[in-house]
Amino acid sequence: MRPRTSLAVQQGTGKVRIIGGQWRRSLLPVATKPGLRPTPDRVRETLFNWLGQDLTGLSCIDAFAGSGALGFEAASRHAAHVLLVEQDAKVAAQLQANAQRLRAQNLLVQRGDGLRALAQRPAAAAGGWDVAFIDPPYASALETQALAAIRTTLAPHGQVYLESSREWTAPQLASLGWRRLRYLRAGSVHAHLLDLRDSVTGT
């Protein structure tokens, strides 16, 4: 039985600690950038409970990577392929340095446009992305565009994690072709787990 895993951000230290999986206890530096906000601990734990504790064989994309917390945690949980996409050069360089430090064979850092990356199928998985993490800058109006971009590249049974500063209701998501499977609010963070199957009202 694998140990229960999650990521914890060391408050005020500019570091992310992986506390489970193959890189358990690794402490990774986070680039300093205004507005960079790793997903809160409680939300992160809940998300990986939703997804399952073992992501073996899955292809994942963290399209607006930032600290890389979600992508590194997915890779630590044995995802087959994880793509971290970050537009900011300094932040992308820190992500690359962290990947090299971990000698991560299942993780690739790419500097570029998250929307464009979402619209491209993973080279390693012809069926599409199994898990897409969508956590764009708040108030950036990128959420709707990101959900549109991933529609044609998500695997048939794939899931999308959407983090936002507001709640997306089940009817709102259904109007865009998405089904809301799970929802959590933690302070100002609204976390949603989605898929494309049937687009019926979820929890």
Q: The domain spanning residue 81 has which CATH number?
A: 3.40.50.150
- pLDDT grade for 103, boundaries at 50, 70 and 90: very high
| Cα 23 from Cα 77, distance rounded (Å) | 9
Measured in whole angstroms, the distance separating CA 115 from the mean position of its chain's CA atoms is 14
Burial class (CB in 10 A: 0-12, 13-18, 19+), 36: middle
| Cα 199 from Cα 109, distance rounded (Å) | 32
Work out the mean pLDDT of the chain and round it to a whole number. Answer: 87
User: Looking at the domain assignment, is residue 22 inside a domain?
Assistant: yes
Burial class (CB in 10 A: 0-12, 13-18, 19+), 58: buried
Q: pLDDT tens, 128-156?
A: 999 999 999 876 789 999 999 999 999 99
| Cα 21 from Cα 77, distance rounded (Å) | 5
pLDDT the model gives residue 25: 81
Domain that includes residue 91, residue range = 7-195
User: Looking at the domain assignment, is residue 201 inside a domain?
Assistant: no
User: Looking at the domain assignment, is residue 2 inside a domain?
Assistant: no
Q: Which residues pair with 84 in a beta bridge?
A: 62, 109
- The residue whose two tokens read 């506390």 is 19
21 sits in the region (left: phi over 0; alpha: psi -120 to 50; else beta) called left
User: Looking at the domain assignment, is residue 202 inside a domain?
Assistant: no
pLDDT higher at 182 or 28? 182
| Number of domains observed in the structure of the chain | 1
User: Looking at the domain assignment, is residue 203 inside a domain?
Assistant: no
pLDDT the model gives residue 75: 96
| Cα 132 from Cα 167, distance rounded (Å) | 18
User: Looking at the domain assignment, is residue 200 inside a domain?
Assistant: no
User: Looking at the domain assignment, is residue 1 inside a domain?
Assistant: no
Q: pLDDT tens, 154-164?
A: 999 999 999 99
> Which two tokens mark 195?
């898929």
- pLDDT grade for 21, boundaries at 50, 70 and 90: confident
Give the strand pairing for 81-86 and 59-62: parallel
Report field, pTM of the whole predicted structure over 0.75:
yes
